[in-house]
């Protein structure tokens, strides 16, 4: 297998001590739609069109987001008190809030791009940025009588899926997936008291980490 070096400016896929490199040659990992695996990416999995001309684009169009939750059985407080369950059902109210919080953070970050302006329609110079969270898991038990305090090291986990698409042809130019836990500040293993404000703060912090990485990468794409 041989590798095609990526210019240092392409921070869209950078993030490790070693420079990212696109796999090339007969042993390269290539997706069904022709994207090549990137080694040393900022995301756990990342694939790119090695022939993409990024300089032709200067606008981005948010393409919506999809949120999918792990199928977890809804249990009662009495049942929870007798088990060691670590995955909990997310009700409709909290599902809606998660979508709102994550979408807001990504919109804020993309709106701060210095390389791209946000537009409302497709065009030859427009990239669609779409994504979502899949296999969302909550580690936060629902409130119920008899449990006054809960201490957690993580409020949940999710897999981020991103795609960057040419808005005219629909061709996918970049795809990434990255699974992370919404760990407590500093990533320590010492449990911290769980409260709604601190839990949502951790969710926003993880979303900001992903969104800022995406924005910084977009801003670093070559413009000429």
Owner of token pair 């957690």: 152
Higher pLDDT, 140 or 208: 208
Give tens-digit pLDDT for 78-98. 555 545 578 889 899 999 999
Contact by Cβ (8 Å): 163, 130? yes
Higher pLDDT, 14 or 24: 24
Give tens-digit pLDDT for 116-153. 999 999 999 999 999 999 999 998 887 654 455 565 55
Q: How would residue 15 be classed by pLDDT, with cut points 50, 70 and 90?
A: low
CA neighbor of 180 nearest in space, from 210, 158, 202: 158
Using the predicted structure, report yes or no on whether residue 113 has a pLDDT greater than 90. Answer: yes
Q: How would residue 188 be classed by pLDDT, with cut points 50, 70 and 90?
A: low
Q: For the chain, give the mean pLDDT.
A: 82
Give tens-digit pLDDT for 98-111. 999 999 999 999 99
Please tell me the pTM assigned to this model.
0.82
pLDDT at residue number 224: 73
Contact by Cβ (8 Å): 99, 33? no
- Which pair of structure tokens corresponds to residue 91? 């009700």
pLDDT at residue number 198: 85
Q: How would residue 6 be classed by pLDDT, with cut points 50, 70 and 90?
A: very low
Higher pLDDT, 77 or 158: 158
Task: Name the strand (E) or helix (H) holding 111.
Answer: helix 92-111
Using the predicted structure, report yes or no on whether residue 1 has a pLDDT greater than 50. Answer: no
CA neighbor of 143 nearest in space, from 179, 73, 89: 89
């Amino acid at each position: 297998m041989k590798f095609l070096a990526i210019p240092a400016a392409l921070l869209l896929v950078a993030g490790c001590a070693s420079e990212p490199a696109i796999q090339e040659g007969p042993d390269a990992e290539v997706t069904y739609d022709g994207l090549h695996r990137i080694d040393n990416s900022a995301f756990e999995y990342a694939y790119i069109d090695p022939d993409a001309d990024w300089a032709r684009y200067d606008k981005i169009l948010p393409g919506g987001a999809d949120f999918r939750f792990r199928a977890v059985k809804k249990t009662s407080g009495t049942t929870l008190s007798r088990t060691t369950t670590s995955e909990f059902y997310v009700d409709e109210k909290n599902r809606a809030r998660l979508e709102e919080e994550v979408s807001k953070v990504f919109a804020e970050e993309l709106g701060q791009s210095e390389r791209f302006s946000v537009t409302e329609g497709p065009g030859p110079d427009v990239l669609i940025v779409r994504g979502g969270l899949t296999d969302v898991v909550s580690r936060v038990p629902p409130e119920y009588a008899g449990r006054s305090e809960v201490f957690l090291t993580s409020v949940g986990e999710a897999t981020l899926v991103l795609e960057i698409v040419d808005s005219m042809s629909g061709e996918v130019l970049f795809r990434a997936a990255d699974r992370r836990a919404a760990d407590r500040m500093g990533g320590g293993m010492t449990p911290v008291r769980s409260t709604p404000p601190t839990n949502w703060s951790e969710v926003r912090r993880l979303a900001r980490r992903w969104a800022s990485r995406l924005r910084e990468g977009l801003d670093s794409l070559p413009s000429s």
